[in-house]
């Protein structure tokens, strides 16, 4: 069994930053203490000056496999995760076929086992007519359910109120929802189409997929969860007003209604549409600078529990089409953590809070077994970051199959140096491991 000693890093974990040594034995963390003496059978990694974080757990990614593999594959995007310090992901069901049957679910797990570089879990998708399949989900192997209460890539809209009530009443695992009111969006879109045709100026994206559309849908989801006792997790909040629907009065372990925010809603605002165009077209839309400020406030005061990427690659050719044809979504996993390291430098969030929102909280919320913390007995999913080493995001360094990033040209003060997955150094300053050792995530229920 290989032993590795990470020496002298500043360990960011459970609200503190301390200089500690971390001993890895096989797949697990064996010891965490101020000084561990190396023996001849231990490989030592000198990490003075760097910070050691638990590997990030991204609770919302779209890796497009099966069926949309011209945009991305589990193999390509999970490799980008390695370079971005993300050691586990939960992938979404809007693939082709959709992950809405037991067979499609099992098939995805097989692809994950064969091709993923990092640990993987797959959300089961709800539709207007698959309650039977939803209730047959194995809670130990499935993080939970994803419902599109507003349409996006694919065709997974759940818009039957009776079905929704049945799902919320009967399903006890986390229900993660995309909230945008479809009728409001349709009305807004037809107004702008009447003026501009297909080539609607991109800055109207937030008038079409509006604050009202978001609030109407997320407030309905929250009240349905309150009525039914469902465990609701609202994905990608994009407006300040929605943050008022969430509370910080209980610790995450006790909350029944939680929220996520994504990197792009924390980083971009409507001021970026003129330069970035459809490359920052997301659903929900990037909103105003005031909305972004409201999201930061709710994140820091714990009304928002999780930061994710909603990594949703499309090809450049697809993205460069006129407004109504350009799909929403963009890639993010490779630079999500560096963006947050930059935000730490800008004083927007502490490093301890980044770790809470990207590592600890996804593990707590989805009951992921033995990950998300630096603790003896836990899997050695670990990331060394260099907060002194800056980088400018450039196309030639991108690992995404789609080959572009909305962050190109952005300077970020912070770099991922090394990433360990299940005890193995799989990314080392630009050099990747050669043998995959990722595992299917398991859930303690």
Eight-class DSSP state of 270: G
From 133, 310, 381, 386, active-site residue:
310
Contacts of 168 (CB under 8 A, 6+ apart): 175, 224, 225, 227, 228, 230, 232
- The DSSP output letter for 435 is S
CA distances from 64 to 125, 231, 274, 311 (A): 14, 26, 28, 10
Question: What gap in Å lies between CA 395 and CA 400, rounded to an integer?
Answer: 10
Q: Which residues contact 379 (CB under 8 A, 6 or more apart)?
A: 27, 28, 29, 119, 370, 371, 422, 423, 439
Closest residue to ligand DOR, judged by C-beta, is 329
Q: Nearer to ligand DOR by C-beta: 7 or 205? A: 205
Measured from the CB atom, is 225 or 326 closer to ligand DOR? 326
Give me the least distance between CB of 75 and ligand DOR, in Å please: 18
- DSSP string covering 374-389: --TTSB--EEEEEEEE
Q: Where are the strands (E) in 62-185, listed by range?
A: 86-91, 119-122, 124-125, 145-148, 175-178
The span from the CA of 145 to the CA of 157, in Å, is: 14
Q: In the complex, which residues of this chain contact ligand DOR (CB under 6 A)?
A: 62, 94, 152-153, 178, 282-283, 310, 312, 327-329
User: Residue 310 or residue 342: which is nearer to ligand DOR going by CB?
Assistant: 310
Write down the least CB distance from residue 12 to ligand DOR, Å. Answer: 29
With beta carbons less than 8 A apart as the criterion, state whether 90 and 60 touch. Answer: yes
Query: How many other β-carbons are positioned within 10 Å of the β-carbon of residue 204?
Result: 19
Q: By C-alpha distance, which of 332, 422, 372 is closest to 57?
A: 372
Q: What are phi and psi of 176, to 5 degrees?
A: -95, 130
Can you read off the two tokens belonging to residue 148? Answer: 């599109």
CB of 94 to ligand DOR, least distance (A): 5
**Is residue 310 among the annotated active site residues?**
yes
* 203: CB partners within 8 A, 6+ apart: 270, 273, 274
- CB burial class (10 A; 0-12, 13-18, 19+) of residue 189? middle
**Nearer of residues 62 and 335 to ligand DOR, judged by Cβ:** 62
Q: Which is nearer to ligand DOR, 55 or 331 (CB)?
A: 331
- Cβ-based neighbour number of residue 2 at 10 Å: 13
Nearest to 276 by CA among 380, 383, 189, 405: 405
Say if residues 107 and 65 touch (Cβ distance below 8 Å).
Answer: no
Nearer to ligand DOR, 153 or 269 (CB): 153
Contact present, 260 and 233 (Cβ < 8 Å): yes
Could you count the other beta carbons within 10 Å of the beta carbon of residue 394? 12
- Residues belonging to the active site: 310
């Amino acid at each position: 069994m290989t032993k590795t000693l990470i020496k002298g890093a500043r360990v960011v974990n459970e609200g503190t930053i301390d200089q500690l040594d971390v001993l890895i034995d096989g797949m697990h963390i064996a010891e965490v203490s101020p000084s561990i003496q190396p023996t001849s059978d231990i490989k030592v990694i000198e990490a003075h000056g760097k910070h050691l974080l638990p590997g990030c757990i991204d609770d919302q990614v779209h890796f497009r496999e099966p069926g949309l593999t011209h945009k991305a594959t589990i193999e390509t995007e999970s490799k980008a995760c390695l370079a971005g310090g993300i050691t586990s992901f939960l992938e979404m069901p809007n693939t082709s076929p959709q992950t809405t049957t037991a067979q499609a679910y099992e098939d995805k797990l097989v692809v994950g086992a064969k091709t993923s570089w990092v640990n993987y879990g797959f959300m089961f998708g709800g539709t207007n007519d698959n309650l039977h399949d939803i209730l047959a989900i194995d809670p130990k192997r499935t993080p939970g359910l994803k419902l599109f209460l507003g349409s996006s890539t694919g065709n997974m809209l759940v818009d039957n109120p009776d079905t929704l009530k049945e799902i919320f009443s009967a399903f006890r695992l986390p229900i993660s929802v995309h909230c945008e009111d479809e009728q409001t969006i349709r009305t807004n879109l037809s107004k702008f189409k009447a003026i501009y045709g297909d080539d609607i100026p991109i800055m109207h994206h937030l008038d079409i997929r509006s604050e009202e559309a978001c609030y109407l849908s997320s407030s309905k989801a929250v009240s349905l969860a309150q009525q039914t006792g469902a465990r609701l997790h609202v994905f990608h909040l994009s407006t300040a007003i929605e943050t008022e629907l969430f509370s910080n009065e209980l610790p995450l372990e006790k909350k029944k209604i939680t929220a996520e925010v994504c990197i792009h809603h924390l980083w971009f605002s409507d001021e970026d549409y003129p330069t970035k165009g459809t490359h920052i077209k997301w659903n929900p839309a990037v909103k105003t600078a005031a909305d972004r400020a409201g999201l930061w406030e709710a994140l820091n005061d714990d009304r928002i529990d999780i930061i994710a990427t909603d990594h949703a690659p499309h090809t450049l050719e697809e993205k460069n089409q006129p407004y109504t044809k350009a799909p929403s979504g963009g890639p993010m996993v490779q630079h999500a953590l560096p963006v947050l390291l930059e935000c730490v430098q800008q004083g927007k969030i502490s490093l301890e809070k980044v770790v809470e929102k990207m590592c600890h909280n996804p593990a707590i919320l989805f009951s992921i077994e033995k990950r998300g913390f630096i603790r003896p007995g836990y899997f050695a999913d670990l990331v060394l970051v260099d907060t002194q080493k800056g980088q400018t995001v450039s196309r030639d360094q991108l690992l995404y199959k789609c080959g572009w990033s909305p962050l190109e040209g952005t300077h970020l003060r912070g770099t991922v140096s090394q990433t360990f997955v299940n005890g193995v150094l799989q990314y080392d300053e630009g050099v990747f491991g050669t043998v995959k050792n990722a595992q299917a995530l398991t859930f303690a229920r």
